[in-house]
Amino acid sequence: MRRLAFLVSWLLVLSILSVEVPAIDRATLRWIRSKPPIDSIVIEGNEYFKDSRIKKQLYSRTQNLWRVIRGDRRCRVQRETYHRDTLEVKYLYLSNGFLGVRIQERFEMLGEDSAALVRLTIDEGRQFRYGKKMITGNANGDFLFHCQKIADRLKPGRPISPFELHQAAFDMKTHLANHGHPYADIVHAVDTLKDSRLNPVTFTVEQDSLVRFGAVSIEGTSYYPEYVAARELKIKPGAIYRRNDILDSQRRLFESGYFSTLQLKMVEDSPDRLNPDFVLKVRERKARYVAFKTGAGQSEVRDLIWDISAGFGQRNFLGSRRYNVSADYSFSIGSDSRLITHRYRFRFTEPWFLGIRMPLSLTFELRPRMKDPTNDFDKRSWSTSASTSKWFGRKIRSSVGIEYQYVKISGVPQEQIAELKMLTENTARRKVFAVFRRDSRDDLFIPRRGSLSDLSAEVYGGFLGGDENFFKIQAGWSSYQIVWPGWISATRLRASWSEAFGESDDVPLDEVLYLGGANTVRGFEENELGRFLVGDKPVGAKFTGVFNQEFRWRTLQILRVIPMLNSLFRSLPLWQSLFFDIGNGFRSRKDIRFDNIALSYGTGFQLISPAGPIRVDYARRIKNGRFDFDERWHFTILYAF
């Protein structure tokens, strides 16, 4: 909705622009197409805004050494430069109440070097400010109240912005469309004739008749039963028309995984405009498939790993049920390059468990013998589990499940056999788990706004039985916001608690909590923090806590000035970050003290690739009573959080 409103607002700008385009001879046109450097910018006729404020708004920039090194193409006249400055400056004035502003832009040749002078002549006109807001037309009851509430966002005395007016009208229309009145028409007008400090604004609302959904026909299904698409629709015949139901239906159809493209629209020649019919046209994904994936990634045990995955599956097994068989391999990359995990998995999924949009997955997984990534012993296991998940709105998702796991630890060093005798036995573990996640980030790779909250709990043994009794609770919160033009502040808090209970004395070593590395506390090796010795027995942390503060910005584009590679790196922008990390693992609550916390700081560079940021971080530890000074490089993919 916001993107649509923004697009319509810009179309409004284009419709009201009255740019006077001077005649351009062919020689001047050829000169402009040669992309001359911009030597100077001249602003004329401005009174309300200073020259510096207007130049800051411009797309054009005067050429200097710094901008040349950065590869800033705006310091030369570009194809899009012509009249883009006019658009930017006019947006500035319109947003501040100058509804009749007129701007003329010219490019002038300077001297023999053919540098360009950009000249903007501004006729500001009169400034208008919000006065009384009135709602007219046939809106009544709740609609009138809601429309007036939207109009009251425009505070008296503020400069009138046509973009705010259009957004207010759009919000009114959206509210009406979500309550059965998609044909509603809203028109706004500003009284500019009165010579007063405040100008009245009128919104005329014609809500039209109540509309209900008609029938929905589905076209394009062949691999899957028609109900696979029908059950995802929130459009029900006879229900009150709601625009959000149409958007939610499209989102749910894509999320189902059965369709590659779709089109849901109203039938143009529907016989009854108050009960319009709809048609859904879909293009199905193949029912049977073979998949192969490979690529770099990150994990909790290594800075950088390379994953290889292969498998096959079917999406229309027993109707719309799915199954897949896969084999996954992960290799660590760096000084300790080796195969660190390999697993083989079969999964069966019932998409609508008990007739509810809550998929149930049954999984069997086998992990053959392999050296543990963080401990000096070998581990093999197999497990079977059942889990389900459900979305609540567009941001919140929760999952619950139960799992039975058989684990065998072997290859324990001779000097640790006495301490780890319990780990040399076969172990049966049973657990229940629950996960809650709320994600309002605007982008998965480079979030600029929003937050991510997650909470997970795992309970092993207890009333479930099994050989181990312990629990793990982990919670995290990350927040993102723009604190300066082009600068993003990223903040994360993360805490964990793991403890044995009942007849168990400690959490098994392959399930304990560790910290340190590229994604938690930089400046330390992966899982270096949280390791302890109780007597001669190695144990892990019961509590962990992490605080990360990071600032990210698009930095000097030095890769663009490399000959023959500038075109490649033009589509791979370079970012930079500054960070500060705090955290550690603790055996007891009394150990949670400031002098027992690891601190580090550093900087990093990120090359933004289609697969996500490729990240190189340099971190330095801060010396305190517990940790000595050290430094470390981290090379991985994706941001730490």
Kindly list the structural domains of the chain, giving each domain's residue range(s) and its CATH number in brackets, ordered by start. Answer: 2-123 (3.10.20.310), 130-206 (3.10.20.310), 216-284 (3.10.20.310), 288-637 (2.40.160.50)
pLDDT > 90? residue 241: yes
Q: How many helices (H) and strands (E) does the chain have?
A: 10, 27
> What confidence tens digit (pLDDT) does each residue in 451-500 have?
999 999 999 999 898 888 999 999 999 999 999 888 999 999 999 999 99
Considering the chain, what percentage of its residues have pLDDT values greater than 90?
58
- What average pLDDT is seen over the chain? 87
CA dihedral 404, 438, 298, 346 (to 10 degrees): 30
Helices 162-177, 2-16: inter-axial angle, 10-degree rounding:
140
pLDDT at 581: 97
The whole-angstrom separation of Cα 93 and Cα 332 is 56
pLDDT digits (tens, 9 = 90+) for 32-78: 778 888 889 999 999 999 999 999 888 888 877 777 666 677 888 87
Residues 73-116 pLDDT 10s: 788 887 777 678 889 999 999 999 999 999 998 888 887 667 88
Hey, what are 390's tokens?
Answer: 């459900």
* Residue 311 binned pLDDT confidence (cut-offs 50, 70, 90): very high
Q: What is the pTM of this model?
A: 0.76
Mean pLDDT, residues 225-246 taken together: 94
Of the listed ranges 22-31, 123-132, 134-143, 521-530, the one predicted with least confidence: 22-31
The two tokens of residue 265 are 């629209």
CB atoms within 10 A of CB 2: 8
Helix ranges (H only) for 203-297 are 227-230, 243-255
* 184-187: Cβ within 8 A, 24+ apart: 184/208, 186/147
Question: Once rounded to an integer, what is the mean pLDDT over residues 404-416?
Answer: 78
Q: How do 38-44 and 115-123 pair as beta strands?
A: parallel
Under the banding of pLDDT at 50, 70 and 90, the label for residue 4 is very low
Q: Identify the band that residue 11 occupies on the pLDDT scale cut at 50, 70 and 90.
A: very low
The whole-number average pLDDT for the span 319-337 is 90
pLDDT beyond 80 at 577: yes
pLDDT the model gives residue 538 = 75
| pLDDT grade for 571, boundaries at 50, 70 and 90 | confident
